[in-house]
Amino acid sequence: MITVKNQEQIDLMRVAGSIVAETLELLEAHAKPGISTKALDKIAHDYIISRGAKPSFLHYQGFPGTICASVDDVVVHGFPSDKPLEEGQILSIDCGAIFKGWHGDAARTIAIGKISPEKQKLIDVTKASFFEGIKGLKEGSRLGDIGSRIQTYAEKFGYGVVRDFVGHGIGRQMHEDPSVPNYGMAGTGLKLKSGNTIAIEPMINMGSHEVRINGWDHRTRDGLPSAHYENTVLITESGCEILTQVSPEGRAILTRKLEAE
Ligand code: MG
Ligand code: MG
């Protein structure tokens, strides 16, 4: 079932979304060569708890962390590990939080130290493909419109758009209907309504779109790097709103925290 959220529910999702966006900014400030993704995971866990929320991912279907930490050719769902990050790697961080029963979900790929221009371009195009995907998005848009825009944009650069994992509805559950593919045909698929909330999350590979799936281990088949960019998005009558962005209150809290470190 595809749910429509009311104003009160949307307000709670905005808080959850801000906490997720704050956490991602906090992690970005700490993600340097030498730190482990387990250390980043602890920072995320403690921050989410300090904000009165709960990590969505921890123990979800047995997942062991607060964040998914996917390095280089790992597409998504990487387990936080003790291995120190290295200069030149790219790290996709996916994070979710539950606030008063409502979820926020977002992901960013970031550079560890100095990275190659090729990797930077992959990160930039992946982020831009998300913003292409939400262009013109509003009540009455179809799911295929989003996927088609993302796919057309990313493939112009010769990149592969991952098929094995897709975006999703979100709300009281982290994963709700519908599935939101990052590929497809404009004018097809489900028609969106005002009050729908969906996580749009292009996963873009530098090479082929193919993924080798082995349990929780999800790597590109060709070994080339992959990037991820995700936000939780509210559909409205006149457009859409990104719910996973830092609120003014969240900005003040995060700034105080970073200054205290
Ligand atoms: Mg996510
Ligand atoms: Mg998601």
Question: What's the CA-to-centroid distance between 93 and ligand 2, angstroms?
Answer: 11
CA 69 to ligand 1 center in whole angstroms: 11
Query: Which sign, positive or negative, has the C-alpha torsion 121, 122, 127, 133?
Result: positive
Structure token pair of residue 138 = 């509003």
Ligand lying nearest the CA atom of residue 200: 2
In-domain check, residue 103:
yes
Give the confidence band of 83 by pLDDT, cuts at 50, 70, 90.
very high
User: Does residue 131 form part of some domain?
Assistant: yes
Phi, psi of 252 (to 5 degrees): -65, -45
Host domain of residue 246: 7-260
pLDDT range class, residue 26, cuts 50, 70, 90: very high
Over residues 177-189, mean pLDDT: 98
Q: How far is the CA of 9 from the centre of ligand 2 (A)?
A: 19
Q: Which of 38, 41, 2, 8 minimizes the C-alpha distance to 24?
A: 41
Q: Hey, which residues does 90 pair with through a beta bridge? A: 111
pLDDT digits (tens, 9 = 90+) for 232-255: 999 999 999 999 999 999 999 999
> Does the pLDDT value for residue 62 go beyond 90?
yes
Using the mean position of ligand 1's atoms as its centre, give its distance from the Cα of residue 1 in Å. Answer: 20
**Prediction pTM value:** 0.98
What integer pLDDT is reported at residue 1 of this predicted model? 83
CB atoms within 10 A of CB 95: 32
Q: Ligand 1 centre and the CA of 229: distance in Å?
A: 9
Q: How many domains does the chain have?
A: 1
Query: What's the whole-number average pLDDT of the chain?
Result: 98
In a domain, 2, yes or no: no
Confidence of residue 7 (pLDDT cuts 50, 70, 90): very high
Q: Which residues pair with 213 in a beta bridge?
A: 218
Q: What is the rounded CA–CA span in Å between residue 132 and residue 257? A: 33
pLDDT-above-90 percentage for the chain: 99
Does residue 194 belong to any structural domain of this protein?
yes
Q: Is 232 helix (H, G, I), strand (E, B) or coil?
A: strand
